Structure 1
Amino acid sequence: MAALRLRESVIAAKQKLAADREKLKRQHQAGTPGVQLCAQITDCFDAILLELVNEAAEDVPGFTAERVLSNITIVPHGGYGRRDTAPYSDIDLMIMHSPTFREPAIQFTKRLQQDVFDVGLILGHSLRTPKQAVSAALSDATIFTSLAENRYLAGSVSLFRDFAEPFRRRAKRNFRGLYRAIMNARDEERAQYGEIIHLLEPNIKRSSGTLRGIQMVRWLGFAKYGENEVDALNRIGAISDRDRKSLRDAREYLLRLRNELHFHAGKSSDLLDRAEQIRIAELYGFQGTAGLLPVEQFMQTYFEQTGGVRDAARHFIASIRPQSPITTIFGPIMTRRVDRDFHVSPYRISTSKRWKQHKAGQIDQVLELMIAASRFGRQIDHPTWEVIRSKMQGQGEVEMTEAIRRAFLTLLSEPGRLGELLRRLHELRLLEKIVPGMAHARCLLQFNQYHKYTVDAHCIKTVECATQFLERDDTLGAVYMKIKKKWLLHLALLIHDLGKGFSEDHSIVGARIAEDVADRFWLSSQDKETLVHLVLHHLTMSHLAFRRDTSDEQLVLSFAMQNGPAERMRMLFVLTCADFAGVGPGTLNDWKVRVLTDLYRRSMQNLGGDDTVDTVAQRRAKLDRLASLVRGHKNEEWYRHVIDSLPEGFLQETPATQIISDLEQLHAMKDDSPMVACQYREDRGVLEITIGTREALMQGVFHRLTAAVTSQRMTILAAEINTLADGLVLDRYFVQDQDHDGQSPPERMEDICQRIRKYLTATEDQAPTFTTTWTSRNQRLAEEAIPIPTEIKIDNETAEQYTIVEIFTQDRQGLLYQISRLLYDIGLSVHVARITTHLDQVVDVFYVTDSEGHKIFDQERLESIKRTLGEALVEQTS
């Protein structure tokens, strides 16, 4: 019935739009190139708009259509202006009018806006005179970049010329200010949509290296030269033939990909999320290999395209960057020559004409320049990069000479601008010539929710993160500063993940790569051994810290002996922290640093390093502090008895006043009212729920406690079981509240405590009720397409008193309760738990005994435990 109220012209346009979209969808599926299809979509929108424009012109009271159209002009701009229109794109129009024709223009615009909306198109529009349009564009970067992509569609041609020609001339005169404004606006957008091209769920329109990079070239080209077509910029020499080809090829690739996203979604969609990556990889025919999934192959191709856009756009932007007047005037005066060929100014380092002519094509000389740039803390100026880039393109295999070896290792020893310079070497494709394993890792996707960058980007990022530890004033910063062979640590970080993408364990493959790298750089036998050890064991410290009970001093001693001497332990500590930091923002938080630092300090005590921290003295000081807090208390003897039983981790991580508060509540606890406390931990960004009870009062205490926490809509991120003296249980859960982002309100935390107490004191052992949470279809498809396999491991060697059960599986709601209940049902008692999402998957680790408190040695029983857990968890994920 609603359609009957629409104008006939609108109904006809609506039908045409639907028919044309269906026709264009078939053409797309048949293989029509992206640029061609976008042009056809634009033609479709143009035809519809022209009909609606004519209808609207006839509907302006008191004016003929000819009079209206002689006083207005319709100007498509933005993506619609450059004919990059995707199937469900918005259309941006500027309706320009002569200065004396504003009121009729308003009437015209209202009719046109309503008709376009009724047709089913999304219209962004503005109403301006030519003078107003030019003024607005020159005062606002967003308006400028949109109007820089303009074309004539309908109305007065002379009115369009009154805008287009003055706009072009004034833009060129105002280039300096426009350049700054456009770059600032792009920086803000990049921060929102991803500053690195290797972001694993990119927005193909706005993320770095995508369509926005091509558009930046066009916008700045228009501001500088009055030209925005890449071919035109190439003809005037502003863009090289190679960069022109990179931009044209990437535009075709990205537009076709964007068309696919739009047609599949049936709406505007620019996010290449995990589910779409999987679907398109299959659609494009990627088959995968033993070490690479089809989706990883597809994304490697995608990142190759966006990497080309980034390089070409960065080069063009740097080539037209305006010099400040101060630099132009005083730069030559403040520049000093540091050797025959290098000149250092306040901000940049440049090279002589002789160097550009004779040395820019020599890798060892380029590395020497980078060493100087790092030592002086300067950027290499663009003219020098331009020559290097030109001469290094197409560089073949590189023979490792003594000059290259020495220069590269020297560069690695200079923390200053190391991350940035390694990135530039990688962009030039020189890094993979020097370190061959980088070629395999280039643009290699890590298809998981943990890593945020590709393998090559992650490896370089970890080096950069390590150099930034110099700015820390804690143990981590001091240890990094003390490392003598920083180049060796940086080399280990650079290659530590290069074993990914093969069928074999990446640490083992990485160790072989490390051996080859050591031989390539002619390292001493001792340095080679250290490099191989760091790469082979780069996960060992995090594995121990977050998946084992480090209160076991024998375990720490064994770790120290395996990873000593002291200098190698320092490197492993820094490497582990940098590996976390290089995963993505916020991954290395204060809590993780504290946990790793504690393990490092205790390990160094066993190694006798000269920076050993006396952890025994620290424990004694903490115990003395606790003793002083309970001295004279009527229950002092009880407090001392329980304090002596506190696990090392709990003792070190928990403030003394909180320990006493927890113990006070434990002592006052009644059998029918467990102790429950809740607080927000700023350092971890989570809620900490502390639960105290008596083990004798609840059979299978761990699964019941887990059920109690889970029942309150809490996502458990980590859990610690602490069995104290006299059968007291003090457990801590680190959770995220599904009902609140960040810190929960005080009333919510109090309600959580009351509900958990009620749950624990219930007479029946009841399973928790899980609140249904919304999961996007794309997320479900991604999880179903490439689920994390369930794996059960039994470790009977690490702990003397316990059998350790490791469970690797897909994270899901209520997982910890399901596992803890299974352990209880098969007759196991949990004494220690380490629950964490670590690296590529969820890892739940349990220290267990049989129901009588004994370690399990019977091999058939161990195999039965593995089989029962594995079958149950696989069934729950299917």
Structure 2
Amino acid sequence: MAKVPNQRDIIDRKTLVSDLALLVDDFAPTSMEFRNAVLKKLKQALASGQDEIKRRFMENNKGRPSMHAASFLMDQIIRVIYDVATEYIYPLSNPTPSEKLSLLAVGGYGRGELAPHSDVDLLFLFPYKQTAWSEQVVEFTLYMLWDLGLKVGHATRTTDECIRLSRQDITIQTALLEARYLWGDKELATELRNKFMKEIVAGNGKQFIEAKLHERDERHKKYGNSRYVVEPNLKEGKGGLRDLQTLFWLAKFLYSTTEVSELERRGVFTRSERQRLTKASNFLRTVRCHLHYLTNRPEERLTFDVQGELAARLGYTDHAGTLGVERFMKHYFLIAKDIGDLTRIFCANLEAMHQKKSRLSLPRIGLLKRKVDGFRAEGGRLDFLSEEDIFSDPVKILGLFHVAQNRGLDVHPNALRLIRRNLKLINRKLRQNEEANRLFMEMLTSRKDPETTLRRLNEAGVFGKFIPDFGRVVAQMQHDMYHVYTVDEHTIRAIGILSHIEDGLLSEEHPLSHRIMPKIVSRRVLYTAVLLHDIAKGRGGDHSVLGADVAKRLCPRLGLTASETETVAWLVRYHLLFSNFAFKRDISDPKTVADFVQIIQSPVRLKLLLILTVVDIRAVGPNVWNGWKGQLLRDLYYASETALTGGHISDGRTKRADYNKGRLAETLTDWSDEERDAHLARFYESYWVSNSLEIHKHHAELMRAADRTDDTLTIEAVSDQFQSVTEVTVYTPDHPGLFARIAAAMSLSGASIVDAKIHTTVDGMALDSFVIQDMEGNVFDQGDRMKRLRATIEDTLKGKRKAHIELTTREHSSLPSRTRVFKVEPAVMIDNKASNIHTVIEVHGRDRVGLLAELTRALFTLSLSISSAHIATYGERAVDVFYVKDMFGLKITNDVKLRSIEEKLIEVLSEPEKPRKKSAKSKKSQVEKTQ
């Protein structure tokens, strides 16, 4: 363990021992008074030492010395406890050979590293079996440590038990590998060490390596299998501390050292790699210490609520276009990437030195060295023929990955190491090289797993060097709850999803995208657009606009024609258009389709943009896509395709309404003429043009059944597993505020409303349809959820429950939401151009329980009638759109009324705990109106 400076400032064991010796004069050693007095002294010493360690850490911001100091402090405390037990409480005047006890530190403590709130792992070692004396000493030691408030992991074993168990359990084997003598009988600890090295370590390197690497792979799967998740686990996640520890476990098992300098001397690492390893190790340890101090617990996750404070403590400040917290997390991801690189290098050296079989399941001939297209294949991995290759012809850097992709080979770590050391060869001249750009485009658009190849290029540092604009977003995170991955990881995943759609692997989830993919005129336009759609993030402006400029500049270099370049730039510029219209607008409103088509202008663009939108959403995170979003995109696609290929967006509202009524009349064959005519006359024109024939028929049957039984409240629910939604239809007498009350009841029941349409009949009935999901984005029909939802809606509408009051109470009494760490500026946009007959209100704010209910209640108090609502949540950000009319069924055009709507909704969107300000001219909103 490293030497700790000024040790006595942390704990003066000699003085502490003297103070404890004096207690024997005041209390009998076996008395509880003596024990309590000892505990008091130890608490003081521990608290004083911990304060000094924390002071030093906050002063120098270095985690490794802090961990060593904490381990030193714990050593002294445990030694003192052991000495008190064996000298004062359970002394032995003439111990037998079996009355020996050795204390060993294991785990992180064994390495001499203790984070502020880490567990203290101990091994109590006996020679043959546990005696009454040793049992008493162990019990006293443990109880004292527990009473000091420490978390202790412990095992009590003999030497033979340790050896036997380590053969059976890789975890125990690893713990013994790190065991460090602490106190007690030193010969016993030495005996265990010698026996362990002779019987377990010697000759078993291969098995240990395979077991630890398998353990690592399983751990990676558990924690997301990516080092680029935006809330990483810095201990167990990919590229975290555990990966570093695995590397050192392997080194200790094979080389009997954990000193990086010794690994450099043996040729395992170069000097620069050793420096990278030390830098990564120091950074992660410092972050971990800060995280423990900040949370006051053994927290290992870099969650959103701590990232900002950690960034501030580590000195990361905001720069133009980039938050300090994003700069901190980018540094973290680059460190995690370094650890992955170094692990691969280390494992390659192990394989070379110990002739370990390739971990790939390849035919025996694959293990032989052979030439492949100007490179050398060895063990299923591709390498350069000589180091001189890349200097004489730097294009071979890209050629290596190109051949590996075509031949289904991995890239040899030696080649990766050579490339990383010479990334300066990827310069302006190489970027302008026609052959190099051809190779890159072929890898990007290949039918042979482009995702894996692009990830290899990125891990090697080649991607960001060859496409410098992409290099700017490597490890770039967005500090929000919507985006799960860094920008580069999101982009590479999106290309992988596009490839899967093209190969038919996602045909059931994305039937339309799969069907139109073969009709795409230029595959490289689509693949390039996916590559560039987020390339301008983090630059401080609209990344869509800035990204289009990047595309115009980069595409000709990549070999795209002027026409292809224009299309790629357009797709990047409008890559959010499809989702904005599909998720925020009423697709049944002809004006929505007309406005969308006016921007699209081309069936070719429509196809390209749909697929780009699908892969973009899918690549955001595991639970972002659902069937409902897919259905909305398909509905908008089909409506737009019809308009673009000669169909009419609107043949006249009245004509369309009459046509739809006629189609419904033809299907109601078992209805009398009087029943049918009465039903067709019950709805206003808007109902007939905004629903499909299937929905019209379903509503007709539901209403007839309810009217025949005189039910004043009918609630029906139908789930669609493919769309991942449950549609709830409420048929009841209309009254003011009905939508708001139903929305409150649904929120109270844990339902998330994603879409709603409100229709009123001429005879005063309301037919409201709500599309809902559970909080995980699934159908809302598991267990007895629907039964509880029906009861809550019924009780709310009958006045038995005040749902909006219950929601307010719940919000104030519940634990703070994780979304509170994010600031979302409230915004209200009122648009009188998006619809011919409605005023469209779009609101943005921080999501919270009951927000929709509050917003709809506010609209009710403003005497507005809601015709449809479209609800979307992007992590912590809620985006809700309402199609409304005034009490006379008209658009809202009065300036005073518009300002009143804006102010009222801003008040609702503002944080409840903050004073709500009203302003005639709010800087947080925009009003667009057409008189």
1:235 match: 265
CA distance in 2, matches of 1:315, 1:129: 38
Counterpart mapping for 1:451-850 below 5 A: 451-469=483-501, 470=503, 471-473=505-507, 474-608=511-645, 630-633=668-671, 635=675, 651=692, 662-663=702-703, 667-668=707-708, 670=710, 673-678=712-717, 682-683=721-722, 688-694=727-733, 697-710=734-747, 712-723=748-759, 726=762, 729-735=766-772, 746-762=783-799, 767-770=804-807, 771-772=809-810, 779=817, 783=820, 786-838=822-874, 841-850=877-886
| 3-state secondary structure, aligned to 2:472 | helix
Q: Deviations over 1:597-643 (max 9, x none)?
A: 3322333333349xxxxxxxxx9999999889753245556677789
1:855 match: 891
Instruction: Measure how far apart 1:736 and its partner are.
Output: 5.9
Deviates more, 1:567-576 or 1:94-103: 94-103
CA distance in 2, matches of 1:59, 1:742: 67
1:307 match: 337
CA distance in 2, matches of 1:364, 1:838: 42
The amino acid of 1:425's aligned partner reads: L
Counterpart mapping for 1:176-187 below 5 A: 176-187=206-217
Instruction: Measure how far apart 1:853 and its partner are.
Output: 0.8
Kept after mapping to 1: 8 A contact 2:316/2:325: yes
TM-score (norm. length: structure 2): 0.83
Kept after mapping to 2: 8 A contact 1:361/1:391: no
CA distance in 1, matches of 2:803, 2:106: 63
Deviates more, 1:99-108 or 1:477-486: 99-108
CA distance in 2, matches of 1:326, 1:503: 44
Match of 1:16 among 45, 51, 69: 45
Match of 1:73 among 102, 114, 119: 102
Match of 2:433 among 393, 401, 409: 401
| 3-state secondary structure, aligned to 1:835 | strand
The amino acid of 2:312's aligned partner reads: E
Counterpart mapping for 1:51-90 below 5 A: 51-58=80-87, 63-64=92-93, 71-90=100-119
Instruction: Measure how far apart 1:447 and its partner are.
Output: 0.9
| 3-state secondary structure, aligned to 2:56 | helix
Instruction: Measure how far apart 1:324 and its partner are.
Output: 5.0
Match of 1:392 among 420, 423, 427: 423
Kept after mapping to 2: 8 A contact 1:693/1:729: yes
Kept after mapping to 2: 8 A contact 1:87/1:259: yes
Instruction: Measure how far apart 1:10 and its partner are.
Output: 3.1
The amino acid of 2:838's aligned partner reads: Y
The amino acid of 1:468's aligned partner reads: H
The amino acid of 2:624's aligned partner reads: T
CA distance in 2, matches of 1:663, 1:583: 41
Counterpart mapping for 1:126-275 below 5 A: 126-169=155-198, 170-275=200-305
Instruction: Measure how far apart 1:168 and its partner are.
Output: 3.4
Kept after mapping to 1: 8 A contact 2:532/2:551: yes
Q: 1:767 to 1:353 in 2, by over 3 A?
A: closer
CA distance in 1, matches of 2:777, 2:491: 35
The amino acid of 1:675's aligned partner reads: T
Q: 1:424 to 1:739 in 2, by over 3 A?
A: closer
Instruction: Measure how far apart 1:704 and its partner are.
Output: 3.1
Q: 1:157 to 1:624 in 2, by over 3 A?
A: farther
Instruction: Measure how far apart 1:281 and its partner are.
Output: 2.3
Larger C-alpha radius of gyration, 1 or 2?
2
Matched, 1:419 2:451: yes
Q: Deviations over 1:237-282 (max 9, x none)?
A: 1123222212211221221222222223333222222222112223
Deviates more, 1:662-671 or 1:736-745: 736-745
2:327 match: 297
Deviates more, 1:35-44 or 1:107-116: 107-116
| 3-state secondary structure, aligned to 1:691 | strand
Q: 1:50 to 1:669 in 2, by over 3 A?
A: farther
Q: 1:532 to 1:329 in 2, by over 3 A?
A: closer
Q: 1:210 to 1:738 in 2, by over 3 A?
A: closer
2:411 match: 380
Match of 1:277 among 307, 321, 324: 307
The CA RMSD measured in Å over matched residues stands at: 3.8
Structure 1: 5+ residue stretches without partners: 610-618
Kept after mapping to 2: 8 A contact 1:669/1:675: no
| 3-state secondary structure, aligned to 2:849 | coil
1:323 match: 357
| 3-state secondary structure, aligned to 2:872 | strand
Q: 1:850 to 1:141 in 2, by over 3 A?
A: same
1:615 match: none
1:339 match: 373
Instruction: Measure how far apart 1:418 and its partner are.
Output: 1.6
Instruction: Measure how far apart 1:845 and its partner are.
Output: 0.3
Q: Deviations over 1:655-684 (max 9, x none)?
A: 89966764555545747x221234665456
CA distance in 1, matches of 2:76, 2:592: 75
- State the identity as a percent: 27
Instruction: Measure how far apart 1:82 and its partner are.
Output: 0.9
Instruction: Measure how far apart 1:451 and its partner are.
Output: 0.7
Q: 1:361 to 1:835 in 2, by over 3 A?
A: farther
Deviates more, 1:321-330 or 1:242-251: 321-330
Q: 1:850 to 1:32 in 2, by over 3 A?
A: closer
Instruction: Measure how far apart 1:871 and its partner are.
Output: 4.4
Match of 1:866 among 877, 892, 902: 902
Kept after mapping to 2: 8 A contact 1:6/1:118: no
Number of residue pairs matched? 859
The amino acid of 1:371's aligned partner reads: H
Q: 1:875 to 1:24 in 2, by over 3 A?
A: closer
CA distance in 1, matches of 2:645, 2:465: 40
Instruction: Measure how far apart 1:57 and its partner are.
Output: 3.7
Q: 1:10 to 1:435 in 2, by over 3 A?
A: same
Q: 1:745 to 1:869 in 2, by over 3 A?
A: closer
Structure 2: 5+ residue stretches without partners: 1-30, 647-656, 915-931
TM-score (norm. length: structure 1): 0.88
Deviates more, 1:111-120 or 1:206-215: 111-120
1:433 match: 465
The amino acid of 1:379's aligned partner reads: D
Q: Deviations over 1:8-54 (max 9, x none)?
A: 43332222111111121111121252111111110100001111223
CA distance in 2, matches of 1:367, 1:740: 42
2:400 match: 369
